[in-house]
């Protein structure tokens, strides 16, 4: 018997979870292994339920008071072994989308493309390939200049600096808090922006807003 792709569906809107599960039941090679309504529930589910692919929104309430699931997904995607992640989103800003890819997300499906693209996305990322739905691909290809893709996942220190910076701390304040030099903090900030495909300070702030950091 062919191994089925085990999928966990995570979204804080019940109607989305119901619709996604209904769609996935039409695919004979996919099995819904569980569902979660928030990031804490997803973490608990992963501890007791094996899966190959997570289909997740990023706007869910995070763990320990976080406003979204991005920090959790970033940590998850840095581990080995780990499931692949398909993000189901309404984000259309190209730098936001490239940032998700550079965090290690394997697939991005615009919610307007769900019916025609989600099953393909799951199958592709389960096979180790990157997948973009039509709307997500169009957003990335129409950007000028095009954002960098897969420039490398952010390190833990780069992500830490990025989060503190978008919360309003200046470089010298971050350096003092983290006990690093200002030059090191500036380098880590620039590296994070490059990997996330962000060019300007406005891009950085808008990206943070889109994923719920501010």
- pLDDT, tens only, 163-206: 889 888 999 999 999 999 999 999 999 988 887 777 888 888 87
> pLDDT tens digits, residue range 116-151?
999 999 999 999 999 999 999 998 888 766 665 555
What is the model's pLDDT at position 1? Answer: 45
**Tokens matching residue 62:** 């995070």
Beta bridge partners of 13: none
Cβ 148 vs Cβ 175: under 8 Å: no
- Any idea which fold 5-141 has? Rossmann fold (3.40.50)
In this predicted structure, the answer to whether residue 162 has a pLDDT above a threshold of 60 is yes
- Distance, in Å, from the CA atom of 202 to the CA atom of 214, rounded to the nearest integer, reads 13
Q: Taking the CA of residue 205 as centre, how many other CA atoms within 13 Å lie in the half-sphere pointing to its CB?
A: 5
What is the model's pLDDT at position 78? Answer: 78
Using a pLDDT cut of 90, give the percent of the chain over it.
Answer: 48
First to last CA, the chain: 47
- Distance, in Å, from the CA atom of 19 to the CA atom of 143, rounded to the nearest integer, reads 31
pLDDT, average across residues 95-103: 79
Query: Residue 167's closest CA among 180, 177, 182?
Result: 177
Cβ 103 vs Cβ 73: under 8 Å: yes
What is the model's pLDDT at position 210? Answer: 65
Rg (CA), the chain: 17
Tell me the C-alpha to C-alpha distance, in Å, between residue 207 and each of 107, 192, 199, 211: 18, 12, 11, 6
Evaluate the CA torsion angle 160, 158, 211, 48 in order and state its sign. negative
In DSSP notation, 95-122 reads HHHHHHHHTT--EEEEGGGHHHHHHHHH
Using a pLDDT cut of 70, give the percent of the chain over it.
Answer: 89
Please return the burial class of 206, using the count of CB atoms within 10 Å of its CB with bins 0-12, 13-18 and 19+: middle
CA dihedral 57, 58, 61, 67 (to 10 degrees): -160
Query: Residue 11's closest CA among 39, 43, 33, 37?
Result: 37
DSSP letter (8 states) at residue 69: S
> Which one of 21-35, 95-109, 157-171, 186-200 scores highest in mean pLDDT?
21-35
Domain boundaries, the chain: 5-141, 156-195
């Amino acid at each position: 018997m062919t191994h089925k792709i085990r999928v966990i569906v995570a979204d804080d809107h019940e109607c989305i979870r119901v619709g996604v599960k209904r769609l996935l039941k039409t695919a004979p090679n996919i099995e819904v292994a569980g569902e979660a309504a928030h990031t804490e529930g997803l973490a608990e589910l992963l501890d007791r339920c094996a899966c190959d692919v997570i289909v997740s929104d990023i706007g869910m309430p995070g763990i320990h008071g976080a406003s979204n699931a991005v920090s959790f997904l970033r940590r998850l995607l840095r581990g080995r072994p780990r499931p692949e992640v398909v993000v189901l989103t309404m984000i259309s800003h190209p730098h936001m989308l490239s940032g998700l890819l550079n965090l290690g997300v394997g697939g991005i499906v615009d919610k307007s493309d769900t019916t025609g693209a989600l099953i393909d996305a799951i199958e592709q990322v389960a096979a180790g390939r990157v997948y973009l739905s039509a709307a997500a691909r169009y957003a990335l290809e129409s950007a000028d200049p095009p954002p960098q893709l897969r420039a490398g996942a952010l390190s833990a220190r780069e992500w830490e600096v990025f989060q503190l910076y978008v919360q309003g701390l200046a470089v010298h304040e971050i350096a003092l808090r983290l006990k690093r030099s200002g030059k090191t903090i500036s380098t880590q900030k620039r590296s994070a922006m490059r990997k996330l495909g962000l060019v300007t300070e406005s891009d950085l702030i808008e990206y943070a807003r889109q994923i719920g950091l501010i």
